[in-house]
C-alpha cells in the first residue's frame, strides 16, 4: 500500500511560480488544516489543503493519463473508421446511402445518451468498474457487427457499439480531474484530447485500407483485437483513481476493484494498516448505486455550464458537418477510392491532435500568467482554491482567436468544394480547421472540469449529451442543406452559427464567477439542511 503522503512539499514549487527564492514564501501561503484525501476538493473548487493532491508518482500519473487517452481513442475511431466503407456497405446490404448515413446519426445519439448513466456511476463506484463494463459491451457489439448480414442488425449493433465506447471520453476527463491539479490540468487534458482526436486522423485511413483490401468486416475484427489488447493491460496495471474511492490515491480500493499489480502489493500490507487507511474515507462513498442521470441533467441547466455546453455543441456540430461530408464530396467531386478518401482525413486529424497538445500547454501558461498577476501562489501538487480566481477568463481567452480562425476556415472550405478547386486547397484548409476547432474543444473541456472537479465524469457526460445530439442532427441535415443551398452557402451558414459562440463565451467570462459563487452558496445551504 502507498503510504499516506507527507504534508511537506519537499521544496517543489511549480516551475511557473517565479524564482526559486520565492519558494519558501509560496509554501507559507497555504496554511489551512490538512483534510482527508477524499475532501481535497469538497464542494467543487473551494477547499484547499497542504496535503498532496495526488499520491501517484509522476511516472504512474503519466501512464494513467496515456492509458485513459488510449481508451478515449475508441469512440471517435469507431465512428470515423466507418466513413470510407459507407458506399461499400450500402452496396453489400442493398440499401441507400441515406439509410447508411442513418447509422451514423444513431451512433451519435447513443454517444450522447450513454454517458449520462455511466458518468455518475464512475464518479461514485470508481473508474475501473465503469471502464470494464463499457469495454465488455464494446467487444460484444464489434463481434456482432463483424458477423451480421442485415441492415437492421447493423443499425442496432452500431448503437450498442456507441454505448460501449462513447463513455470512455467522459471517464478519461474524470481521471484527469482525479490526478491533476488545476495548474497542470490543461496539459493533461491536452494528452487526453489528443488521444480521442487521433480517431479522426487514423480512423478513416485504417478503415480505407481494411475496406479496400480485406472487406468491411475486417474493420470490426480490427476493433475487437485492439480493444482486447487494451483490456489486458488494464486488468494488470491500471489503478483505481476515483477520489471518492481511493482519495488522493493513498487509500487502497476494495479487493474486487484492484488491478493485478495493485492486488499483489496489497497482499504485502498488514491488516491494521489497511483498516487505518480505509478509515480516512467515508464508507458511504463506496456504496454502489444504480446509475442516476439526474446529476448530469442538473449540470446541463446551470447558468454558466449551459452557455459553455451550447457553445461547445455548436462548434462540435460544425466539426462533424465537415468530417462526415468529406466522403461523399470527395468521391463525387474528385472520384477517389476508399483508401484515398481515408488518406484525405489525415490532415484533419493531425491538425486536431497537434492542437490538443499545443493548446494544453498554452492553457497552463495562461493560468500561471493570470495567477501571477493577481498574486496567487502556485505550489506543485496542491489543490488550489478557485473561489476568487477568474478561471473562466484564464481558460476562455485562448478560445476566442481559435473560434475566429475556425469560422473563416469553414467558409473557405465550403467555397473550395463548391467551386471544385484542386484537392490540395481543401486538404490544407481542413488541417488548420482541425487545429482551430480542437483547440476550442480542449479549452471548453478543461474549463468544465475546473468547474466540476469532484464530478468530472458526470460533467463531461453533460457535454456529451448536448454536443452529440446536436452533432447527430447536423449530420442528418447536411445532405438536404447541400441540395437546398449549395455547398458554399451551406458552410457559410454553419460558420455564422459558429461565430455566435463568441458572444456566449464573453458572457461567461463576464458573469461566470458570479454564477459560480451563487452555485457554491446554494450548495453550502443544501449541505447544512
Residues 342 and 332 sit within 8 Å (Cβ to Cβ):
no
Residue 75 CA: distances (Å) to CA of 82, 136, 167, 196? 12, 14, 8, 7
What is the C-alpha to C-alpha distance for residues 336 and 368, in angstroms, rounded to an integer?
47
Can you tell me which residue has the cell 478543461? 446
Mean pLDDT (the chain) is: 80
Q: What is the pLDDT of residue 288?
A: 58
Predicted TM-score of the model (pTM): 0.74
Structure confidence at residue 274 as a pLDDT band (50, 70, 90) = low
From 1.20.1250.20, 1.10.357.140, 3.40.50.10320, 3.40.190.150, which CATH number describes the 54-268+291-516 domain? 1.20.1250.20
> Above 70 in pLDDT, residue 383?
no
> Cβ–Cβ contacts within 10 Å for residue 471, how many?
27
> Cβ–Cβ contacts within 10 Å for residue 376, how many?
18
Q: Does residue 337 come out as left (phi exceeding 0), alpha (psi in the -120 to 50 range) or beta?
A: beta
> Cβ–Cβ contacts within 10 Å for residue 284, how many?
8
Radius of gyration of the chain (CA): 23
Q: What pLDDT digit, counting tens, does each position of 291-321 carry?
A: 667 777 788 888 888 899 899 889 888 887 8
What is the C-alpha to C-alpha distance for residues 462 and 465, in angstroms, rounded to an integer?
5
- Helices marked H in 374-398: 391-396
Q: What is the pLDDT of residue 266?
A: 76
What is the C-alpha to C-alpha distance for residues 220 and 148, in angstroms, rounded to an integer?
11
Give Cα 223 to chain centroid, integer Å.
20
Identify which of 146-160, 190-204, 263-277, 315-329 has the greatest average pLDDT.
Answer: 146-160
> Above 60 in pLDDT, residue 6?
no
What is the C-alpha to C-alpha distance for residues 139 and 227, in angstroms, rounded to an integer?
7
Q: What pLDDT digit, counting tens, does each position of 60-119 carry?
A: 998 999 899 889 889 888 887 877 787 788 888 888 877 887 888 788 788 878 888 887
Cell, residue 102: 442513418
Nearest to 361 by CA among 398, 393, 406: 398
Cell, residue 167: 463513455
Contacts of 134 (CB under 8 A, 6+ apart): 118, 164, 165, 167, 168, 171
Residues 402 and 439 sit within 8 Å (Cβ to Cβ):
yes
> Above 50 in pLDDT, residue 2?
no
Mean pLDDT confidence for 440-451: 86
Eight-class DSSP state of 398: T
Can you tell me which residue has the cell 461565430? 499
What is the C-alpha to C-alpha distance for residues 352 and 409, in angstroms, rounded to an integer?
14
Beta-carbon-side half-sphere exposure of residue 249 (alpha carbons within 13 Å) = 24
Residue 340 CA: distances (Å) to CA of 158, 208, 326, 493? 25, 7, 11, 29
Q: What is the pLDDT of residue 193?
A: 75
Amino acid at each position: 500500500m502507498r503510504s499516506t503522503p507527507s504534508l511537506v512539499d519537499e521544496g517543489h514549487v511549480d516551475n511557473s511560480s517565479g524564482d526559486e527564492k520565492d519558494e519558501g514564501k509560496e509554501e507559507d501561503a497555504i496554511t489551512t488544516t490538512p483534510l482527508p484525501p477524499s475532501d481535497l476538493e469538497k464542494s467543487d473548487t473551494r477547499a484547499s489543503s497542504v496535503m498532496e493532491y495526488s499520491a501517484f508518482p509522476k511516472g504512474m500519473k503519466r501512464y494513467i493519463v496515456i492509458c485513459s487517452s488510449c481508451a478515449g481513442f475508441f469512440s471517435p475511431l469507431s465512428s470515423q473508421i466507418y466513413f470510407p466503407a459507407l458506399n461499400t456497405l450500402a452496396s453489400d446490404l442493398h440499401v441507400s446511402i441515406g439509410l447508411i448515413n442513418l447509422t451514423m446519426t444513431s451512433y451519435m445519439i447513443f454517444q450522447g445518451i450513454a454517458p449520462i448513466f455511466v458518468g455518475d456511476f464512475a464518479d461514485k463506484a470508481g473508474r475501473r468498474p465503469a471502464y470494464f463494463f463499457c469495454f465488455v459491451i464494446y467487444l460484444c457489439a464489434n463481434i456482432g457487427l463483424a458477423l451480421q448480414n442485415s441492415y437492421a442488425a447493423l443499425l442496432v449493433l452500431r448503437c450498442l457499439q456507441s454505448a460501449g465506447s462513447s463513455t470512455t471520453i467522459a471517464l478519461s476527463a474524470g481521471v484527469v480531474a482525479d490526478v491533476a491539479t488545476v495548474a497542470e490540468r490543461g496539459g493533461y487534458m491536452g494528452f487526453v484530447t489528443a488521444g480521442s482526436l487521433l480517431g479522426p486522423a487514423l480512423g478513416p485511413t485504417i478503415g480505407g485500407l481494411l475496406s479496400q483490401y480485406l472487406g468491411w468486416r475486417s474493420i470490426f475484427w480490427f476493433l475487437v483485437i485492439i480493444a482486447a489488447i487494451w483490456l489486458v493491460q488494464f486488468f494488470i496495471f491500471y489503478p483505481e483513481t476515483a477520489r471518492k474511492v481511493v482519495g488522493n490515491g493513498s487509500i487502497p480500493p476494495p479487493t474486487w476493484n484492484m488491478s493485478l499489480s495493485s492486488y499483489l502489493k496489497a497482499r504485502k500490507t498488514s491488516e491494521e494498516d489497511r483498516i487505518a487507511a480505509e478509515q480516512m474515507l467515508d464508507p458511504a462513498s463506496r456504496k454502489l448505486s444504480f446509475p442516476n442521470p439526474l446529476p448530469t441533467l442538473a449540470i446541463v441547466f446551470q447558468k454558466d455550464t449551459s452557455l459553455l455546453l451550447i457553445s461547445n455543441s455548436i462548434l462540435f456540430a460544425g466539426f462533424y458537418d465537415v468530417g462526415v461530408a468529406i466522403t461523399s464530396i470527395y468521391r463525387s467531386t474528385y472520384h477517389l477510392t476508399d483508401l484515398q478518401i481515408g488518406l484525405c482525413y489525415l490532415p484533419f486529424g493531425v491538425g486536431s491532435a497537434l492542437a490538443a497538445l499545443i493548446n494544453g500547454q498554452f492553457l497552463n501558461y495562461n493560468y500561471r500568467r493570470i495567477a501571477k498577476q493577481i498574486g496567487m501562489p502556485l505550489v506543485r501538487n496542491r489543490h488550489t482554491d478557485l473561489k476568487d480566481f477568474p478561471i473562466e477568463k484564464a481558460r476562455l481567452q485562448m478560445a476566442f482567436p481559435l473560434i475566429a480562425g475556425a469560422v473563416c476556415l469553414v467558409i473557405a472550405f465550403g467555397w473550395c468544394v463548391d467551386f471544385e478547386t484542386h484537392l490540395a486547397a481543401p486538404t490544407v484548409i481542413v488541417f488548420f480547421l482541425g487545429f482551430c476547432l480542437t483547440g476550442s474543444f480542449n479549452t471548453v473541456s478543461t474549463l468544465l472540469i475546473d468547474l466540476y472537479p469532484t464530478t468530472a465524469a458526470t460533467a463531461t457526460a453533460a457535454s456529451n449529451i448536448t454536443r452529440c445530439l446536436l452533432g447527430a442532427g447536423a449530420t442528418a441535415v447536411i445532405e438536404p442543406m447541400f441540395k437546398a443551398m449549395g455547398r458554399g452557402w451551406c458552410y457559410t451558414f454553419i460558420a455564422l452559427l459558429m461565430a455566435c459562440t463568441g458572444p456566449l463565451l464573453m458572457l461567461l467570462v463576464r458573469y461566470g464567477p458570479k454564477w459560480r459563487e451563487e452555485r457554491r452558496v446554494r450548495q453550502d445551504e443544501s449541505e447544512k439542511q
